[in-house]
Structure 1
Amino acid sequence: MPQLLLELLSEEIPARMQAQAARDLERMARDRLAEAGFIPEALTAFAGPRRLTLVAQGLPTAQADRSEERKGPRVGAPDAAVDGFLRSTGLTREQLVERDGVWFATLSRQGRPTADIIAEMVEAIVRNFPWPKSMKWGTSALRWVRPLRRILCVFDGEVVPFAIEGIESGDLTEGHRFMGDGKPFRARHFDDYAAGLAAHFVVLDPAERKARITQGAKTLCFARGLELVEDEGLLDEVCGLAEWPTPILGDMDPAFLDLPPEVIRTSMRTHQKYFAVRRPGEAGLAPHFLAVANIEATDGGAAIAKGNARVLSARLNDARFFWDEDRKVPLESRLEKLKGVTFHAKLGTMYERVERVEALAREIAPLVGADPAVAAKAARLAKADLGTGMVGEFPELQGVIGRYYAAGEGMDPVIADAIRDHYKPQGPGDAVPSDAVGATVALADKLDTLIAFFAIGEKPTGSRDPFALRRAALGVIRVALEKDVRIDLSRMVALTLASLFADQKLGSLERVENLASQIGEAGYEKAAELAFFSIISAYSPEGVQQMGAERWPEVEKARADLHAFFADRLKVSLRDQGKRHDLVDAVFALGDDDIVRIVARVEALDGFLTTEDGKNLLAGYKRATNILKAEEKKEPLPTGAAERLAGAPAEEAALIDALAAAEPEVGAALAKEDFAGAMRALAGLRAPVDAFFEKVLVNDPDVATRHNRLRLLTQVRDAMGRVADFSLVSG
């Protein structure tokens, strides 16, 4: 069947936009073709430095005739309504059909040539393409990522004629800007098009360009006894920079190898788009680099390599200057500079944030098994490198540079590593800090970020998350689970908000430390009251009541929103591990905010419900709750424990005995956080509950008997509800 070939040739498309542009082109074309009733056998899009290409296989030459029935107004409707319907359909009243008191119109449409539909489709795609950034040029009203130069559009071997802002479609394209012969060539079929591009030094497929870069780079390295330091992100980027990628191995001044390897790699990667290389089996870098040119030079790339080496040397000389100058000043003295750096207009300076993180680290350290004094010092120095010239030049190296400077000053390696690791994990592929101090500072840093931004109402919405709060929450969850850290989230919220308000109002860390000692083991509400009145009383006793009332809703909302946010993030994390979302909901309904305990409950519940006892007991629970809900609508449920009534069935007495045995077992197991044991204790209720529902009539005519049995079902519900809210479990 006929084939559609479309190419949109422009000036250079930014590499970071190319992959999404290919997906958008394929999606928009597929949607437009589907609207016309076409389902191609295959649809593929390619993106490169100068062109977007689409090929659709197996399209018909014309659209099939179509018949559509449209529902109109009811019979007897006002004439104006009927006339409007007739105008929209182009029919007369006599052509309408009445059915079930409603007018219907049957519209027959003759199929159109596919070429006409393609012309309209391409224009719609070009004019509505969702580039992240676009531009106009000349006098054209068209917007494109860069000036659009040619449109090749061929269907079934023939040009599809149309024009967009003076750019006429055709069957011409062109090859490499420099290595091609400079003459356009014709292509009316994809095979000819791909072969023509290859002959004119253009590799169309991004996957092929990546393979060419990788294979060429590894061959050059092998010949010199080196190996490539692989970098998938950089490979994706350079793949979008060259139509005819040609790896070139260059040499750098070995004197620069005394700089940290992260500095060298960042300079190569960020500024020059070079790959680093090393000698096999060695951890450090070799004094070479791997660049990717867009041409095959006649000298094998020697001149290009020399030019690239000069540019790299200039960059590394800048890095050396910052490296040498930064180390003249102790890391801790740079904290003073952070007093002039605004973290957020509503959250004070970066220095104030450091103090909050330090206070949190002291609180969290015992939970992780770290020395509070050591953790506090690491937290205090964690952001100090933000005031260095090196981080100013290479922001990607914050934390990494701080570790080098701390180690160079002879600090405890645990503190130096914590400075580097406190940003971890930065994504699903990143490890959590391995050391207890690093984990402490990572938790404190992320919790402060989350609590502070929630306190000022800066919550993620939809796909918008400018402060990466979702990533921070997932980081807290991962560290807590992998390090088995029992975080009291409510206490952390109270302490952070107290510190935040103190920073804003009094600027006094001493007041915050005093407050922290008062919080102790108090619940959240007590802690929040202490936070309010400790701060407010510094103004005037008569202002306490008024200012406390103003602050309370603000903090309470932040706490509730943050708890719900953590619940949602934990559900996402557990669902990714294959845990059922309804089980997560059932455990979260208990109001617990201990992440480790929540996960243990979910795992125990998951295991319990896979057993026959679990499945049957769940069915009994739902039956009990349904009965209780129905009775509660009639009158308030009776309270208290069920009693043994004279003449009661044996099954009723057996369930009372089973509950009497199970309830203390469940309580003891929960106290030890033995959730599997709690589930086993509940399993003992399975047979008595089944027998009760089989032999006992709950809604007995005798009021006393009915109330006793309702109390018994309430006990069953409540006993199971101590483990999870089984009403939220499906099945």
Structure 2
Amino acid sequence: MPDLLIELFSEEIPARMQTRAGEDLKKRITDGLVEAGLTYAGAAALTTPRRLTLAIEGLLAESPTIREERKGPKVGAPDKAIEGFLRGAGLTRDQLEERDTPKGAVYFATIEKAGRPAAEIVAEVLEATIRNFPWPKSMRWGSGPLRWVRPLHSILCILSDEAGTQVVPLEVDGITSGDTTAGHRFMAPNRFSVTSFDDYAAKLKRAFVVLNPGDRAEHIWNDAQNMAFAAGLEVVDDKGLLAEVAGLVEWPVVLMGQIDDEFLDLPPEVLQTSMKEHQKFFSVRNPKTGRIERFITVANRETADNGATILAGNQKVLSARLADAKFFWENDLRVAKSDITQWTRALENVTFHNKLGTQSQRIGRIAALARELAPVTGAEADQAEKAARLAKADLNSEMVYEFPELQGLMGRYYIEAAGEDAAVAAVAQEHYSPLGPSDDVPTAPLSVTVALADKLDTLTGFWAIDEKPTGSKDPFALRRSALGVIRLAILNELRVKLREPMQAQVERNRSAARSVTIDDVLDFDSIEDFDGVGNASELSSKEITGDLLAFIHDRLKVFLRDEGIRHDIIDACIAMDGNDDLNLLVKRARALNAVIATEDGENLVQGFKRANNILTQAEEKDGVEYSYGADVKFAETNSERALFAALDQAQARIDPALTSEDFPAAMSAMAALRGPVDAFFEDVQVNTDNDILRRNRLNLLSQIRQVCSSVADLSKIDG
């Protein structure tokens, strides 16, 4: 079985595209080969800035011969029908076989497709892959129609086995396949031939190319750590930057440079962000002080002066970048210390959304909601309002304008510089969290209050103008905001009933949407973009809130899925009163989930459903509601009397448990009904001919439904 080696050699591929390109090459080639009948033992894709490589082991030398049998028309069918069948099968009439079937004699054709050599199939699949490769962005060059991410220079495609190496003949827009490649652009640019993947990888390494991106990343990280450790420092971990830098070089040479003393007092986050975004440098930190004191850069070549010239050039460019950052920092500090509120006032001229007004108006709505939420979250109301009004002030700072990813963090520095309390300053950074399912959740009462207000305002605002997520589209990240509300409430064990504050915030946003005028909004491309007073949803604030709460409940189902809690169990709890208290809802769902997982709980659900079905059918048939009047004096059997007693005992345990929100105890009391309910149905015929007994037993079933439904709506449980 031969091995296949493919290399597509081009100008530099953007680092962010390399991993996906390797995966696409592997999938398209292997899928195409298998579809053509060529199976293989294993495949691996490797990438460097200038090449996509695919190595396939144990490929079949040729596709297998395929025999296919087709059933044709009946013997004696019209000639046109037979001729059409022959054309489709590629046969002549004398090659057909007549066979008797239950429906008479029928023509059958046996079609044999001979196998094809692997080289022929590989050439077809590779050409189709190159011509239709799914680059996010591609370009044309020269006069040919071929599009590639950067100009494609050569195609290496060989099949190798014990007998030797064969070049797979192929031509794409004047580029002819061969068995040669080139090494490092500067250190070994000459082309050389290869005979197998092992030969290819070894010769590339001698030509200063590390083929495996994982090996390049490991080499960079180890050298960087060793250099930092030797200087008594440590490298700031950044896996994303490491992967990107590994995609920028074929022969990584790690160098450590010095940051000028005048920049060392800048906030470490500013230094780190500036170096990462502009220069792709790793930050090197002093573990004793937390200051960023040096940087790591990765060159793509070795030099006679051991990188001294490269470092000098990088340090010169870095100093210019950091001079800008220092200028922004010092200017922002002057503003913050003199009057930080001028930034918030300036947000009156910044549009948040063309239907919801300015950032300043939004901040006012968040501040009002934060004041209302403060008693529930344990924050002081005046502090919560102040923190909410300052939390987004840094959006107007020069530093955040240059580095948007520092929003919130810089706000914390500036608010502290303005003389505000550290807890108020922390809100600026923490109120954006959590940004995702793995992001940290703030726990400080002020931060929790403003974070919750911010996310609820986002949700109610876009619901108020009917800009809800549809399908996979969620341009305003509203699903993320809903998950943030859920995690804030549950992980901080907040006992907040969301319906009332959400409805109030919907009304505030509806008022804002109605009041937006063309003069308030600065970013319209044309007058047609402005919706005027038609911005607000036509639904009432109560209806909007109900719809939004249902959306949050849907996200809660996703959140609890990782705990193994099924959607139907959550639905059974959502059907109960107080479903706008997410913490209460989750406690109920967890307790119900634990009970349903037991044999008693599972069987009780079946007994409940049986009782509910019998009762529902009887009520529909009789046109009455059997909801009261069950009397133990009409009980005929011991099991019937035992059920009366068990229901009274369960209710006596359930009521105080629900009052104290001890859901495990309430669920346990409900599950204890399993035995008496089962015994009742085994011994008793509910729909007896005796009307008195029938009514009494139906009312007893109603009592089962009432007792169980006080804990959860078991009718929502599947199965």
TM-score by length of 1: 0.88
Question: 1:78-117 counterparts in 2 under 5 A?
Answer: 87-90=87-90, 94=96, 107-117=111-121
Aligned to 2:273: 266
SS at match of 2:632: coil
Match of 1:133 among 130, 133, 137: 137
Residue 267 of structure 2 corresponds to residue 253 of structure 1: no
Q: Residues 371 and 723 from structure 1, CA distance in 2 versus in 1: closer, same or farther, beyond 3 angstroms?
A: same
Change (3 A) 1:77 1:264: farther
Per the alignment, residue 239 of structure 1 pairs with 246
Does the 8 Å contact 1:98/1:104 carry over to 2?
A: no
Question: In structure 1, the residue corresponding to 2:634 is in which secondary structure?
Answer: coil
What is the CA distance between 1:596 and its match in structure 2? 0.7
Task: Please name the residue that 2:707 is paired with.
Answer: 719
Paired position in structure 2 for 1:201: 208
CA contact (8 A) 1:75 1:98 kept: no
Q: Does 1:605 align with 2:602?
A: no
Please tell me the residue identity of whatever aligns with 2:302.
E
Task: Give the deviation of 1:32 after TM superposition.
Answer: 1.9
Q: Indicate how the Cα distance of structure 1 residues 78 and 331 shifts in structure 2: closer, same or farther if over 3 A, else same.
A: farther
Equivalent pair of 1:628/1:637 in contact (CA under 8 Å): no
Q: Does 1:417 align with 2:426?
A: yes
What residue number does 2:580 align with? Answer: 593
- Counterpart of 2:185 in structure 1 is 177
Aligned residues: 691
- Work out which of the residue numbers 142, 150, 153 in structure 1 matches 2:154: 150
Q: Distance in 1 between matches of 2:15 and 2:41?
A: 29
Change (3 A) 1:691 1:279: same
Output the CA distance in 1 between the equivalents of 2:638 and 2:619.
Answer: 26
Q: 1:219 to 1:561 in 2, by over 3 A?
A: same
Deviation at 1:296, TM superposition (A): 1.3
Distance in 2, matches of 1:608 and 1:34, equals 49
Aligned to 1:164: 172
Q: Look up the SS of the partner of 2:539 in the other structure.
A: helix
> What SS does the aligned partner of 1:7 have?
strand
Q: Does the alignment pair 1:685 with 2:701?
A: no
Gaps of 5+ in 2: 518-532
User: Is the contact between residue 21 and residue 135 of structure 2 (CA under 8 Å) also seen in structure 1?
Assistant: yes
CA drift at 1:354:
0.9
CA distance 1:682–1:61, shift in 2 (3 Å) = same
**Most deviating of 67-76 and 469-478:** 67-76
In structure 1, what is the equivalent of residue 657 of structure 2?
A: 669
Alignment of 1:38-437 (within 5 A): 38-68=38-68, 87-90=87-90, 94=96, 107-156=111-160, 157-180=165-188, 182-286=189-293, 288-329=294-335, 330-437=339-446
- Match 1:616 to one of 597, 603, 614: 603
Is the contact between residue 638 and residue 707 of structure 1 (CA under 8 Å) also seen in structure 2?
no
SS in structure 2 of the partner of residue 328 of structure 1: helix
CA displacement, residues 629-648 of structure 1 (integer Å, 9 cap, x when unaligned): 66567565742223336362
Cα distance in structure 1, aligned partners of 2:83 and 2:558? 54
Give, in angstroms, the shift of residue 313 of structure 1: 0.8
- Aligned residue type for 1:619: Q
1:527 maps to none
In structure 2, the residue matched to 1:32 is 32
Following TM superposition, by how much is the alpha carbon of 1:141 offset from its aligned partner in structure 2, in angstroms?
A: 1.5
Pick closer, same or farther for the CA change 1:459–1:19 going to 2, 3 Å. farther
Mark the CA change 1:81 to 1:333 in structure 2 (over 3 Å): closer, same or farther.
Answer: farther
Residues 501 and 647 (structure 1 numbering): CA distance in 2 closer, same or farther, change over 3 Å?
Answer: closer
Q: State the shift of 1:314 in Å.
A: 0.6
Distance 1:97 1:49 in 2: 62
From 569, 572, 582, the equivalent of 2:555 is: 569
Distance 1:54 1:637, change over 3 A: farther
Q: Which residue of 2 aligns with 1:519?
A: none
Contact persistence 2:38–2:118 (CA under 8 A): no
Identity of aligned residues (%): 51
Alpha-carbon deviation of 1:422? 0.8
**Structure 1: segments with no counterpart, 5+ residues:** 509-538, 540-546
Determine the structure 2 residue equivalent to 1:656. 644
Between the aligned partners of 1:74 and 1:645, the Cα distance in structure 2 is 79
Please give the alpha-carbon distance, in whole angstroms, between the structure 1 residues aligned to 2:296 and 2:268: 15
Quick one: distance in 2 between partners of 1:249 and 1:643? 88
Equivalent residue letter for 2:660:
K
- What is the CA-CA distance between 1:179 and the residue it aligns to? 1.4
Matched residues in 1 for 2:625 and 2:107: separation?
A: 59
Q: Deviations over 1:373-422 (max 9, x none)?
A: 11111111111111111100010100111111110111111110111111
Residues 247/665 of structure 1: CA separation in 2 closer, same or farther (3 Å cut): same
Say whether residues 1:477 and 2:465 are aligned partners: no
Deviates more, 1:28-37 or 1:232-241: 28-37
**Given the superposition, is the C-alpha separation of residues 711 and 17 from structure 1 closer, same or farther in structure 2, using an over 3 Å criterion?**
farther
CA distance in 1, matches of 2:109, 2:545: 58
Distance across 2 between alignment mates of 1:314 and 1:185: 42
Task: Give TM-score scaled by structure 2 length.
Answer: 0.89
**Partner of 2:272: helix, strand, or coil?**
helix
The structural deviation recorded for 1:263 is: 0.6
**Structure 1 residue 700: Cα displacement:** 2.2
The whole-number CA distance in structure 2 between the counterparts of 1:127 and 1:551 is 48
Separation (CA, whole Å) in 2 of partners of 1:266 and 1:81 = 74
Hey, what's the Cα distance between the residues in 2 that align with 1:77 and 1:685? 73
Q: CA deviation at 1:691?
A: 0.7
How many angstroms does 1:358 deviate by?
1.1
CA–CA distance in structure 2, aligned partners of residues 73 and 710 of structure 1: 66
Pair 231,647 (structure 1): closer, same or farther in 2 beyond 3 Å: closer
With 53-62 and 158-167 compared, the bigger mean Cα shift is at: 158-167
1:37 deviates by 3.3
Q: Quick one: structure 1 residues 39 and 506, their matched pair in 2 at CA, closer, same or farther if it must change by over 3 Å?
A: same
Distance in 1 separating the partners of 2:461 and 2:565: 31
Whole-angstrom CA distance in 1 between matches of 2:78 and 2:548: 56
Bigger Cα displacement from structure 2, 616-625 vs 45-54: 616-625
2:525 equivalent in structure 1: none
Q: Which moved more, 1:432-441 or 1:75-84?
A: 75-84
In 2, distance between residues paired with 1:705 and 1:677?
33
Is residue 224–residue 254 contact of structure 2 (8 Å, CA) maintained in 1?
Answer: yes
After TM superposition, give the deviation of residue 218 of structure 1 in Å. Answer: 1.3
Matches within 5 A, 1:492-531: 492-506=501-515
Offset, 1:297: 1.8
Cα RMSD (Å) of the superposition? Answer: 2.9
One-letter amino acid of the structure 2 residue matched with residue 194 of structure 1? A
1:699 aligns with 687
| Letter aligned with residue 147 of structure 1 | P
Residues 416-435 of structure 1 show CA distances to partners (whole Å, capped at 9, x for unaligned) of 01111111122333211131
Instruction: Tell which deviates more after alignment, 642-651 or 429-438.
Output: 642-651
Taking a change above 3 Å as real, the CA distance of residues 648 and 396 of structure 1, as seen in their structure-2 partners, is same
The residue identity in structure 2 corresponding to 1:197 is: L
Superimposed CA distance per residue, residues 556-612 of structure 1 (whole angstroms, 9 cap, x where no aligned partner): 664344223222222222122343444334323447132111211121112222333
Following superposition, the deviation at residue 66 of structure 1 comes to 1.9
SS of corresponding position for 1:553: coil
Secondary structure at the counterpart of residue 589 of structure 2: helix
Following the alignment from structure 2 to structure 1, what is the Cα–Cα distance between the partners of residues 502 and 131? Answer: 50
1:213-262 CA-partner distances (Å, limit 9, x unpaired): 01111121122222211111111111111111111000110111111111
Tell me, in whole angstroms, the C-alpha distance in 2 between the residues paired with 1:705 and 1:86.
78
Q: Counterpart of 1:53 in 2: which secondary structure?
A: strand
SS of residue in 2 equivalent to 1:249: strand
Q: Note the 1:443-462 alignment, pairs <5 A.
A: 443-462=452-471
